[in-house]
Structure 1
Amino acid sequence: MTTVLLTLGRLPKALDLARGFAKAGCRVLVAEPYGWTLAGASRHVAREFKVPPPVKGKVAYLAALAEIVRREGVDLVVPVSEETMHVAHLAGLLPESAGLFTMPPEQVLALHDKARFVETAAAMGLTVPVSAPLGSAEAEALARSGPVVVKPVFSCSGNGLSILRGREPLPPADAGAPAVVQRFVEGGEHSTCTIAQGGRVVATMVYRGAVMSGSVAVAFERVDVPAISAWVERFVAETGWSGFISFDFIIDAGGVPYAIECNPRATSGVHFWEGEDIARAVLEPGWQGPVRVRRHRTLQQFYACLTETQGAMLRGKGFWPSLKSLATTRDVSWDWRDPWPFLSMIGTSWPIIWQSITKGARFGEVATQDVGWYEG
């Protein structure tokens, strides 16, 4: 039996992956700084291990993961979310018998870096917004020419992002927290999630936010945009990518997709695929079978959408549409054959809830703060 280690368990996409690998006949383990999590509550997870958060010490985090791999005879390590940038550094610490479903750290970090990603894609002739480092003369010229977006080079969930629409002055550059200035592209935002093997796209899901919590989608609608799928296929081929890889796009008025950033990891797009097919595509590098798409065109994270509905009621704006969406949209975590993750979600999500309350921040902003990569 193949043993798979997921390196995060708190997010719904981890639960989907856990269920999928178990249905494919794998023994599924979860490593997680929180200890007890959404995925760990599933009957499909054999064991969950508490590990130190990487923000408290990268060496201790990697050592803990490597020890689990050795002790439990793990065959494949699969990173789930923002911890991917740390987990990529396991490459030289694992026994030869253990695989790692991501690229080497230098390639992962090059795409996590929002400035370097744009340079990489532009060099391929792919469409990306004109960008420049904050503090440069080029950035000042961009800001004078029209609306721009300013965002940290290393961030997630929209943290630190600002849009300057009225040619207001740029913020001062900070050498300790580098940022990039991008020309603002007017249009509809779309996201993707791709499973890749050796530079070959196995499957790409294109979706857009249906309900937003800040800049993070908590309900999503799958859509078909051939121009985006073609963009992704070319990028994956040029980089020889293996692993999950995801992008955020803006489609302008002319229908041209501009990739505004890359997430070299899985995103919520995984919810639209059948979990067992995801597992097969990951486990078998030469997988030629289809990755089946679930029948639901729109999915939601129920508790996050409930919070947004309550907020709409308090604001007196958008309550009825939010309530209708909440009542009619399928939740990503609910499965009557495996009900405990959904039913225990308040308990397993309590660390995120508590941080959200005490810090006055949205769920998406605090959910990965302890596992994100925020430095060069």
Structure 2
Amino acid sequence: MVTTAKKANILFTGGRSPATLDLIRLFAKDGYNNFVAESLKSNLSGVSKYVKKNFLIPSAALETEDFIYHLVDIIREYRIDILIPNCEEVFYISKYKEKLEKYCYVFTSSIDVLTQLHSKFQFIELLEKLDIRYPKSQLIDHRQDLIHELKNIDKFVLKPDFSRFASQVIINDKSNEKIDNIRIDEQYKWVLQEYIKGSAFCSYSVAQDGKVLASSIYPSVYFAGQGGTVHFESVNIPEIYLIIEKIVA
């Protein structure tokens, strides 16, 4: 008798994202059973023919405990084998990873690792330890310190320590309209960096146990705002790939 091994049940978060939908399609082609949990009603992935069931759940940011409770409930009832977080939900899932791992495999790092990579300044400190070149950077938590430092430089990049999609990045603009209106204190720190002119590239990699399993490097040509890059052509740049390997290891 020929038997067919059961393919795993996969639960994705961040169904609103086109990237999540693309992952779902890839997993479906290999025969996996896909489920989606999303807090927004406008859920791109939820209507895909490759999704077995779509769940509307509480917001990870606004109702964190309820968010985790609903994930556990879904995982148990539908016998989810692997939870793959996408979008900012990954930070909340990472924080509760130990609890969620009682019920399925959670494909994300610990919250300590994610914080180190997400913090613009902690990431610079990591690059320094790994002897990887980086822009001169300093952490600023007082407005007067920022004003003082800006007097001594012409070109700069200023960004919140924790931010996404370059949503608040200031580049070479010392105008009062920009500087006076930002929040800067002990709880909301900024990173001041030297401005480096050149070609920008992004990378997206999947890694496990210190090894790069998949990686894509692509040029920053089309932007959503200042930072989010949308591109559909990867390039081969060995120097960038070596940096990725060094960070992952």
Query: TM-score, normalising length from structure 1?
Result: 0.58
Matched, 1:218 2:230: yes
> Contact 2:205 / 2:213 at 8 angstroms: preserved in 1?
yes
Matched, 1:53 2:59: yes
Q: Flag the 1:221–1:95 CA change in 2: closer, same or farther, 3 A.
A: closer
User: Which residue does the alignment assign to 2:136?
Assistant: 130
User: Which residue does the alignment assign to 2:244?
Assistant: 232
Count of residues paired in the alignment: 237
Q: Matched residue of 2:234: which SS?
A: strand
Partners in 1 of 2:173 and 2:62 — Cα distance? 37
2:25 to 19, 31, 42: 19
User: Which residue does the alignment assign to 1:185?
Assistant: 196
Partners in 2 of 1:26 and 1:90 — Cα distance? 25
Could you tell me which amino acid in structure 2 is paired with residue 145 of structure 1?
I
User: Which residue does the alignment assign to 1:73?
Assistant: 79
Q: Does 1 or 2 have the higher relative contact order (CA < 8 Å, sep 6+)?
A: 1
User: Which residue does the alignment assign to 1:64?
Assistant: 70
User: Which residue does the alignment assign to 2:211?
Assistant: 200
Q: Matched residue of 2:203: which SS?
A: strand
Q: Deviation of residue 54 (structure 1)?
A: 1.8
Partners in 2 of 1:139 and 1:128 — Cα distance? 23
Partners in 2 of 1:112 and 1:223 — Cα distance? 24
Superposed CA RMSD = 2.3
Q: Flag the 1:72–1:120 CA change in 2: closer, same or farther, 3 A.
A: same
> Contact 2:220 / 2:231 at 8 angstroms: preserved in 1?
yes
Q: Deviation of residue 40 (structure 1)?
A: 1.2
Partners in 2 of 1:148 and 1:95 — Cα distance? 43
Identity of aligned residues (%): 28
Once superposed, which parts of structure 1, at least 4 consecutive aligned residues long, lie more than 6 Å away?
Answer: 166-169
Q: Deviation of residue 190 (structure 1)?
A: 0.5
User: Which residue does the alignment assign to 2:162?
Assistant: 154
Q: Flag the 1:165–1:226 CA change in 2: closer, same or farther, 3 A.
A: farther
> Contact 1:209 / 1:220 at 8 angstroms: preserved in 2?
no
User: Which residue does the alignment assign to 1:288?
Assistant: none
Partners in 1 of 2:161 and 2:133 — Cα distance? 19
Partners in 1 of 2:101 and 2:240 — Cα distance? 38
> Contact 1:27 / 1:46 at 8 angstroms: preserved in 2?
yes
Q: Deviation of residue 92 (structure 1)?
A: 1.6
Runs of 5+ consecutive residues of structure 2 not aligned to the other structure: 1-6
List per-residue Cα deviations over 1:37-88 (Å, max 9, x = no partner).
Answer: 1111111100010111122122222222122112211110001222211121
Q: Which moved more, 1:86-95 or 1:103-112?
A: 86-95
Q: Deviation of residue 34 (structure 1)?
A: 1.2
Q: How does 1:1-376 map to 2 (within 5 A)?
A: 1-96=7-102, 98-135=104-141, 140-141=148-149, 144-164=152-172, 173-215=184-226, 216-237=228-249
Q: Deviation of residue 151 (structure 1)?
A: 1.0
Could you tell me which amino acid in structure 2 is paired with residue 222 of structure 1?
S
Runs of 5+ consecutive residues of structure 1 not aligned to the other structure: 238-376
Q: Matched residue of 2:220: which SS?
A: strand
Q: Matched residue of 1:55: which SS?
A: coil
Structure with greater helix percent = 1
Q: Flag the 1:228–1:167 CA change in 2: closer, same or farther, 3 A.
A: farther
Q: Deviation of residue 142 (structure 1)?
A: 6.6
Q: Matched residue of 2:131: which SS?
A: coil
> Contact 1:209 / 1:221 at 8 angstroms: preserved in 2?
no
Q: Flag the 1:95–1:183 CA change in 2: closer, same or farther, 3 A.
A: closer
List per-residue Cα deviations over 1:164-209 (Å, max 9, x = no partner).
Answer: 2569895573233221111111111100011112101122210013
Could you tell me which amino acid in structure 2 is paired with residue 101 of structure 1?
F
